[in-house]
Amino acid sequence: MIILGVDPGLTRCGVGVIEADASRRLSFVHVDVVRSDPHESQDLRLLNIYNGLTEKIEFFKPDTVSVERVFAQENRNTVLGTAQAAGLAMLAAAQHGIPVALHTPTEAKMAVCGNGRAEKIQVERMVARILNLNELPQPADAADALAQAICHALRPAGALQGGEREQHLTLAQRQWASAAQRAKSSHGVDRGM
């Protein structure tokens, strides 16, 4: 399965592509950042992000697109741009008939680091380790996009249904499910990557 992860942003939109085999072994495929010029008008910036995301989807033909769920931030302009970029990623995926998954930054950190409050450098190091990279993925938007893809690859096959189901999950899957439950119970408030 090919998973394209997106760390949405209006200036820098991280894109990470991984492959997960049937036993959930992960391998690195691609990482990049789609950029828009902050000096251009908002409509042209959105068009640049959309075109860049569409190019990646058409080239890599992912089975799923995993997008960071937008959360409340203090800076309204930042959250608006992030939400618009996330919407463009979902639109591009939908236009190509590709399912979309949304994961919070806390869920991605938990899946990658085992700690939903991990620092950016911890996420970068663990992403590099999980994907056997010789260098840390740069910039941070790229590492966050790969973390989104990894999070989706390691998610449980469905919601946990009783103790018997939980026994068949890997440690990473149990941690992911636990992070998802905590994120839901915190009423959608998330601190971000």
The catalytic position among 40, 58, 124, 141 is 141
Residue 47 Cα distances to 7, 52, 100, 154, angstroms: 17, 8, 20, 32
Contact 29/4 with Cβ under 8 angstroms? no
Which H or E run contains 88? Answer: helix 76-95
What would the 3-class secondary structure string for 41-83 be? CHHHHHHHHHHHHHHHHHHHCCCEEEEECCCCCCCHHHHHHHH
The vertex-20 CA angle with 16 and 25, nearest 5°, equals 115
Q: Which residue has the tokens 């439950």?
A: 181
7 labeled binding residue = yes
68 labeled binding residue = yes
The catalytic position among 37, 58, 63, 68 is 68
Is residue 7 part of the annotated active site? The answer reads yes
Is residue 19 part of the annotated active site? The answer reads no
Annotated binding site for Mg(2+): 7, 68, 141
Annotated binding site: 7, 68, 141
Enzyme catalytic residues: 7, 68, 141
